[in-house]
């Protein structure tokens, strides 16, 4: 594997085990991939194959009491696996941002969107409250949320699923991190907002060299955004290829099944 300085995120021999109510089991194994500056790596695979577990282990968000993470995860050369929570917290949001699969769990119900957004910005920058609020408003406009000042005064449960998802995307993108891990970022968005959000993420990528790990079951999202794609099945990577290669010459049976299952529209 290359060690040139374009590589921002490197996952090597990742294995995750869990000790759950069902006993010990392996959730993902032999995961290896590398993400370069300004590139988009797509991850596809069946529901339950380990995409979220992989991203949560990169971010060190898995429950350390129940899970064991083996292997190496390096962000710009720094080892993340086993890093103290205090250190990790400084990096999350600033160097490596996360767009969670479930928008609701990214927010605390008891604080307003504004309080949470401003706090996140302030904890990673030297901004005062007014500056942070201005940045938040601009970020919300970037994801097509109307009336951002009013929106900041609302509580998470006042927003629709897709509105909350866009707030989370705005938060992840506004500090222009080196890496964004986007776990099913457009599941609650109508097609037009989906396109606007993808455009915005792509703009951040082009302007700031942000690398994106893009998990999506939507092959349209992958076709639009990804440079390379890995296909996962039952906790393992079964195929990795350039996105054009993958769509034109899928190797693995499962990849072929997945591509063939695309629903067709009569227009």
Ligand X SMILES: Nc1ncnc2c1ncn2[C@@H]1O[C@H](COP(=O)(O)OP(=O)(O)OP(=O)(O)O)[C@@H](O)[C@H]1O
Task: List C-alpha distances in Å: 27 to 32, 45, 64, 230.
Answer: 15, 14, 14, 17
In angstroms, give the least distance from the CB of 189 to other proteins.
Answer: 6
Which residues make beta-bridge pairs with 85?
none
- Residue 163, interface with other proteins (CB under 8 A)? yes
Task: Tell me which stretch binds Mg ion (CB under 5 A): 9-17, 46-54, 168-176, 236-244.
Answer: 46-54
CA distance 183 to 28: 16
- Residue 19, interface with ligand X (CB under 6 A)? no
- Degrees to nearest 5, angle at CA 129 with 113 and 139: 50
- Residue 161, interface with Mg ion (CB under 5 A)? yes
- Residue 82, interface with Mg ion (CB under 5 A)? no
Site for other proteins (CB under 8 A): which residue of 44, 56, 106, 174?
A: 44
Label residue 71 left, alpha or beta by phi (over 0 means left) and psi (-120 to 50 means alpha): left
Select the residue whose beta carbon is closest to ligand X and give its number.
162
Q: Specify the residue, 42 or 45, whose C-beta has the smaller distance to ligand X.
A: 45
Site for Mg ion (CB under 5 A): which residue of 7, 52, 120, 255?
A: 52
Q: Specify the residue, 101 or 216, whose C-beta has the smaller distance to Mg ion.
A: 101
CB within 8 Å of 95: residues ≥ 6 apart: 75, 76, 177, 178, 179
CA distance 197 to 116: 21
Task: Tell me which stretch binds other proteins (CB under 8 A): 82-90, 129-137, 172-180, 241-249.
Answer: 241-249
CB within 8 Å of 31: residues ≥ 6 apart: 11, 13, 14, 15, 50, 54, 71, 236, 237
Give, to the nearest 10 degrees, the angle between helix 161-173 and helix 113-124: 10
- Residue 214, interface with ligand X (CB under 6 A)? no
Contacts to other proteins by CB under 8 A? 20-22, 44-48, 51-52, 101-102, 104-105, 153-155, 158-163, 165-166, 184, 187-195, 198-199, 202-203, 205-206, 217-221, 223-226, 243-244, 247, 257-258, 261-267
Contacts to ligand X by CB under 6 A? 18, 20, 27, 45, 47-53, 101, 157-163, 188
């Amino acid at each position: 594997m290359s060690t040139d300085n374009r590589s921002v995120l490197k996952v090597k021999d990742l294995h995750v085990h869990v000790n759950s109510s069902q006993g010990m089991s392996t959730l993902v194994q032999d995961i290896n991939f590398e993400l370069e500056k300004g590139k988009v790596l797509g991850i596809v695979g069946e529901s339950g194959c380990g995409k979220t577990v992989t991203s949560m282990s990169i971010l060190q968000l898995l429950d350390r009491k129940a899970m064991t993470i083996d292997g190496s995860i390096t962000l710009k050369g720094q080892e993340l696996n086993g890093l103290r929570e205090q250190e990790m917290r400084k990096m999350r949001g600033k160097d490596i941002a996360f767009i969670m699969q479930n928008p609701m769990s990214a927010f605390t119900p008891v604080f307003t969107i504004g309080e949470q957004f401003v706090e996140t910005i302030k904890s990673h920058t030297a901004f005062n409250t007014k500056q942070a609020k201005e940045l938040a408003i601009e970020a919300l406009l970037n994801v097509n949320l109307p009336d951002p000042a009013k929106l900041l005064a609302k509580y998470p449960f006042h927003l629709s699923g897709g509105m909350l998802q866009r707030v989370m995307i705005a938060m992840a993108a506004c500090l222009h991190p080196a890496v964004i891990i986007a776990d099913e970022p457009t599941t609650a968005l109508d097609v037009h907002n989906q396109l606007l959000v993808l455009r915005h993420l792509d703009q951040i990528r082009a302007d700031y060299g942000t690398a994106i790990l893009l998990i999506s079951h939507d092959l349209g999202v992958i076709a639009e955004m990804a440079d390379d794609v890995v296909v996962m099945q039952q906790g393992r990577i079964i195929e990795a290829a350039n996105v054009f290669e993958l769509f034109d010459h899928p190797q693995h049976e499962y990849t072929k099944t997945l591509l063939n299952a695309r629903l067709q529209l009569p227009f």
